[in-house]
Structure 1
């Protein structure tokens, strides 16, 4: 059986790893891109193999154009096609605006915006030529509304991903669906490890459904957008935040 192929960037941990696992459960062959999380990617690769799929791992700095070109070439050489791209990889360097350095700002934009652009460019061209593809970009509600004083570089980058999503949807029409997912407060291990319980409680009180989101919540939305049931959904930014009091 010629399985569909999904490339997930930043798949070695967090939301990316859960998305990769859920896509494998749907029968996809998953390409696990990572930059630093080699152990996590290799461990996940074993899990996906046990599901009967044929995953591959690929270390790549997505802000480096040659790295991206080589990765995409390797994926096409192995599978012959790429059907779905999930641009999940991101960094955030938390510091107050007055303490933010130009290097910090550039690094965040290089990975989050330039990286998303580069992978979308090289994968999207293949999808366009094949007359089929889905690109799903991970933005954030931080890219829509600024919530925290520590995240100016991250917020700007996630707003940039929203703009990039709209541009890609136009460039790759009519063959490739391009959408963005904008998670709100998601209780990933990396998110909550440095937060005190009172802060988490205050954040959850803002959410209409009464709890923080989970990685699986995000993965289920991505999985739907990747499916042919979402063929008429295009050029959209879909918030997944449980509903926020005050946004009504």
Structure 2
């Protein structure tokens, strides 16, 4: 049920962090991958690394907030592979600030990448999956969809709002597309080391100390600890699971 060998996966935000880790993890399971992100050079480097694992990888420069780039990217993937089995909507940004300090550009940046990006990529992938009568869509939200921080340094109201929107969008998609053999599920990670967090959260020893006290696991996540959940939602092990989310946070959200 967990066998992914030979599948075709599209991964957004693949140039770094959780997206890069997921791309390598998929490849090790025999998945051919299409890597989407804005930084072409990093994608090319990753594609070369992945192809040493014996699968095919293509690097496609794409800003998920720009419809023409998304449309072109998905056309490139289909021309290369002929189908899309898995879509991992991972691209995201975390903009700091509360509603009293955010400007319109900050707000729009969060919404355009974190929510509109999922909408646009899905807009062009879902029709392909409907034709196949098969597809696995995995959207990445965050525990910050339902948990907030009162510490001024880490207030991220636009991030909270955008990641909560991902949950609602995922449920709507799941209800509409299950009849076509498409499942749509969401992962809500807790604190993982990534490009997004290493220069902020991981540099604050005060924050990490408090986090380790509050979190039942007493530590942030290690690299790769999201991959098992990604595989579950990407495989036929979750064939009758749709519109759901799994929190991967070491228990932080239950205390």
| TM-score for the superposition, normalised by structure 2 | 0.91
Unaligned runs of 5+ in 1: none
State which of 89, 93, 96 in structure 2 corresponds to 1:94.
Answer: 96
- Structure 2 residue 188 is matched with structure 1 residue 182: yes
- What residue in structure 2 maps to residue 62 of structure 1? 64
Summarize deviations over 1:59-103 as a string: whole Å, max 9, x none.
111111111111111111110000000000011221343220011
Distance 1:213 1:153, change over 3 A: same
CA contact (8 A) 1:185 1:203 kept: no
Unaligned runs of 5+ in 2: none
Aligned-residue offset at 1:189? 4.7
Summarize deviations over 1:9-52 as a string: whole Å, max 9, x none.
000000000000000011111111011x3332122111111001
State which of 75, 79, 83 in structure 2 corresponds to 1:81.
Answer: 83
CA contact (8 A) 1:88 1:138 kept: yes
CA contact (8 A) 1:19 1:223 kept: no
- What residue in structure 2 maps to residue 135 of structure 1? 137
Aligned-residue offset at 1:176? 0.3
Distance 1:196 1:146 in 2: 17
Q: Please give the secondary structure, in 2, of the residue aligned with 1:17.
A: helix
Aligned-residue offset at 1:214? 2.6
CA contact (8 A) 1:4 1:27 kept: yes
- What residue in structure 2 maps to residue 161 of structure 1? 166
CA contact (8 A) 1:34 1:60 kept: yes
Aligned-residue offset at 1:165? 0.3
State which of 38, 41, 57 in structure 1 corresponds to 2:40.
Answer: 38
- What residue in structure 2 maps to residue 71 of structure 1? 73
- What residue in structure 1 maps to residue 122 of structure 2? 120
Q: How does 1:2-21 map to 2 (within 5 A)?
A: 3-21=6-24
Runs of 4+ aligned structure 1 residues displaced above 4 Å come to none
